[in-house]
Each structure stands twice: as structure tokens, then as C-alpha cells.
């Protein structure tokens, strides 16, 4: 009996010791209050280079590709032939239509001469009015037939011309998804091209940033991949779209570059900089170690009204040493968990 009591007491002692250790290790979460940091009147945002005219060339008719004149990266002039489809059937149809027009014109010539003879005979009262009217009707019918067949021949000729695809403007071929021998179908992309003389940068800004950009003293664009200097944009080349995205609540801003710097191409990463018109603007900074990245989601743990950490999605800006700027998702005065791994374990 004593032996049994000793075992139970030992178990209680061990359990109590373990609970004490757990209680000592479970320290409260450390939170950092988000404060607005003053900035020197400047803001920036990620952007990308786009082409104002980005065209997908496709065929209006079906046919096998028999010649392919361009490849990705080629520069083309307006009207230059890009590719050609098999147009033998269309060409034969156009030739048949032209032959029908020639036959109709010959019939019209015969009907015209017959009508002239009938008018002369009617003037000498050798034929009746009915005979003259019949000759006139034959002549008019031949005219109408020539017009109808000429229109059909024009359609056939246009149809044959659709088998040759030409560049709608002078530009650069970005990609050629089609290959020699492929079967082209109406609406299926065959060639992608863009106009290098009309480029722009596009950025997604928060509504607050877009409002500041409208009042900005100056706006500049930098394309880091080209290692060039910043390009100044005039106010007339800045466009702020009047609608916001329903999911992210961001506003699209476009800046026209024209030809842009040497080597600029659609899809390149760029940055948009602007000097705010008002001084004393604030930006929110949080420790970089407090940021949680899960697949495509970026967020931080914010202390909720019940005192428990809650994961909230945010949009980040430029890093500042050990801190990172938060563009949207947080407000000044909110508390962010410094250790997201520990906050994730709180239930």
C-alpha cells in the first residue's frame, strides 16, 4: 500500500514540475505599435512597362500556313507581309468569278447592239413597241448581271487577299505562336507584335497614394533593368483611371513614355516616383521579421479587440533597413506581433 502511494505521489510531483515549466516558458506575445514615420515628401510604387499598341494578329479565314516571314524580335514596317496561308482554292474561286464577269460583259455587248438595231427598226416602223421594249429589257438585264457578277468577283478577290497577313503598323514582333504547316483558324493568335514608339508604365496604387499623385509636384520613372536615369513625366502624360479594383481597392495609374529609354520592352519591371505636394506625409513601417509570407499571401498578425493575434493581409512597399513600408492593410496605432511564428500557435 505504501509503495502504491509513493508512485502516485511521484507522478504528481513530476506532473506539477512539467506544468510549472510550461507555464514559465509560455511568455506573452510581444507587440509593436505601428507608428507613422515622416518621409521627405517622396513616394514610390512598383510598376511595369506596357505597350500602348499591343496587337494579336490572327486570320479571318482558315488555311494551312505555307510561308512564315518573321520570328520573335524582328522589326517590321507597315504593310510588310508576315505570313501566307494556302490560297489555291480561293484563287481558283476568284478566277472563276472573273471569267463569269467576262462572259456577262460579252452578253451585255450583244444585248447593247441588239437594242440599238431594234431602236433603228422601230424608228422606221418595222417593229412594234413590244419588240423594242423586249430588247431594252434584255439590255438592262445584261447590265444588272454584269454588276452582280462584278460584285461577286470583288468578294472572291477580297477573300483570296485575306490569306496574306500583313503588319498593321511599324513595330516589333514579340512572339510567333504559330509554325510553318499549322492550320490557321479564324481568331486563333498567329503573331504577337507591339509598337515600340508608344510605351507606358502602369502601377497599382492605393486610393490614398493616387490622391497624392494627382497633387504631385513631379513624377519620374525608373527601369532598373536598363540601369538608366530616371525619366521625368509631364502632368499631361499621367493618367489616373477613374475606377478602383473591387478586390484590392487599388487604382490604376498610367504614365506615357513614348519611345522610352533604349532597350525598354513590355513586361519590364519599373518604379514610379513622385514628390508629394504637401509636406509632413506619413508612411507606416513594420519590422521585416513580423511579415508572414504564405504562397501568394503577405500579411502580419495584428492584435484584435479580444487581445488575440489575427492574421491580416497587407501590401508592402520599399524596405527600409530592418523595417518595411506598409502601403495598405494597416492603420497607425494598431499593434503588430513581433514574432509571427509564436502568434500562429495562439488558439
| Architecture of the domain whose range is 58-85+163-194 | Beta Barrel (2.40)
DSSP 165-224: EE-SSSEEEEE----TT-EE-TT-EEEEEE-TTSEEEEEEE-HHHHHHHHT-SEEEEE-G
Instruction: Retrieve residue 327's grid coordinates.
Output: 502601403
* Segment 266-318, tens digit of pLDDT: 999 999 988 876 545 567 888 989 999 988 899 999 998 888 899 999 988 87
* Segment 242-274, tens digit of pLDDT: 999 998 889 999 999 988 788 899 999 999 988
Domain spans of the chain, in order of start: 32-52+198-344, 58-85+163-194, 88-161
139-161: average pLDDT: 91
- Asked if residue 17 has pLDDT above 50, the reply is no
* Long-range contact set of residues 229-235: C-beta below 8 Å, sequence gap at least 24: 230/273, 231/257, 231/260, 231/261, 233/257
pLDDT of residue 18: 41
Q: Are 39 and 285 in contact (CB under 8 A)?
A: no
CATH number of 88-161: 1.10.287.470
Q: Rounded distance, CA 117 to CA 137, Å?
A: 14
Assess whether the region 32-52+198-344 and the region 58-85+163-194 belong to the same CATH fold.
Answer: no
pLDDT tier at 27 (50, 70, 90 boundaries)? low
pLDDT tier at 2 (50, 70, 90 boundaries)? very low
Q: What is the 3-state secondary structure (H, E, C) of 239-278?
A: EEEEEECCCCCCEEEEEEEECCCCCCCCCCEEEEEEECCC
What are the residues facing 233 on neighbouring strands?
219
| Architecture of the domain whose range is 32-52+198-344 | Beta Barrel (2.40)
User: Could you tell me which of 240, 250, 227, 271 has the C-alpha nearest to residue 44?
Assistant: 271
Sequence-separated (6 or more) residues with CB below 8 Å from residue 63 = 85, 86, 87, 163, 183, 184
Amino acid at each position: 500500500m505504501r509503495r502504491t502511494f509513493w508512485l502516485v505521489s511521484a507522478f504528481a510531483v513530476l506532473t506539477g514540475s512539467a506544468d510549472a515549466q510550461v507555464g514559465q516558458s509560455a511568455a506573452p506575445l510581444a507587440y509593436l505599435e505601428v507608428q507613422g514615420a515622416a518621409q521627405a515628401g517622396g513616394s514610390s510604387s512598383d510598376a511595369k512597362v506596357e505597350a500602348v499598341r499591343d496587337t494579336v494578329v490572327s486570320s479571318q479565314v482558315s488555311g494551312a500556313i505555307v510561308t512564315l516571314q518573321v520570328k520573335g524580335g524582328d522589326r517590321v514596317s507597315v504593310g510588310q507581309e508576315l505570313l501566307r496561308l494556302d490560297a489555291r482554292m480561293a484563287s481558283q474561286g476568284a478566277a472563276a468569278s472573273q471569267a463569269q464577269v467576262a462572259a456577262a460583259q460579252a452578253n451585255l455587248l450583244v444585248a447593247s447592239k441588239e437594242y440599238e438595231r431594234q431602236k433603228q427598226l422601230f424608228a422606221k416602223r418595222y417593229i412594234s413597241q413590244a419588240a423594242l421594249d423586249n430588247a431594252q429589257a434584255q439590255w438592262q438585264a445584261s447590265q444588272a448581271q454584269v454588276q452582280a457578277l462584278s460584285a461577286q468577283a470583288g468578294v472572291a478577290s477580297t477573300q483570296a487577299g485575306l490569306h496574306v497577313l500583313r503588319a498593321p503598323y511599324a513595330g516589333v514582333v514579340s512572339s510567333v505562336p504559330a509554325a510553318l504547316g499549322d492550320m490557321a483558324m479564324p481568331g486563333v493568335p498567329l503573331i504577337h507584335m507591339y509598337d515600340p514608339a508608344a510605351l507606358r508604365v502602369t502601377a497599382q496604387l492605393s486610393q490614398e497614394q493616387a490622391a497624392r499623385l494627382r497633387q504631385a509636384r513631379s513624377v519620374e520613372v525608373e527601369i532598373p533593368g536598363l540601369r538608366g536615369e530616371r525619366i521625368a513625366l509631364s502632368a499631361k502624360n499621367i493618367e489616373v483611371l477613374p475606377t478602383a479594383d473591387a478586390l484590392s481597392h487599388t487604382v490604376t495609374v498610367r504614365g506615357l513614355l513614348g519611345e522610352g529609354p533604349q532597350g525598354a520592352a513590355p513586361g519590364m519591371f519599373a518604379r514610379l516616383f513622385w514628390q508629394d505636394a504637401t509636406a509632413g506625409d506619413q508612411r507606416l513601417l513594420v519590422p521585416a521579421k513580423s511579415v508572414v509570407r504564405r504562397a501568394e499571401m503577405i500579411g502580419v498578425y495584428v492584435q484584435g479587440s479580444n487581445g488575440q493575434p489575427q492574421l491580416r493581409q497587407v501590401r508592402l512597399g520599399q524596405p527600409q533597413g530592418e523595417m518595411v513600408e506598409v502601403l495598405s492593410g494597416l492603420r497607425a496605432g494598431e499593434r503588430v506581433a513581433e514574432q509571427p511564428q509564436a502568434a500562429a500557435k495562439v488558439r
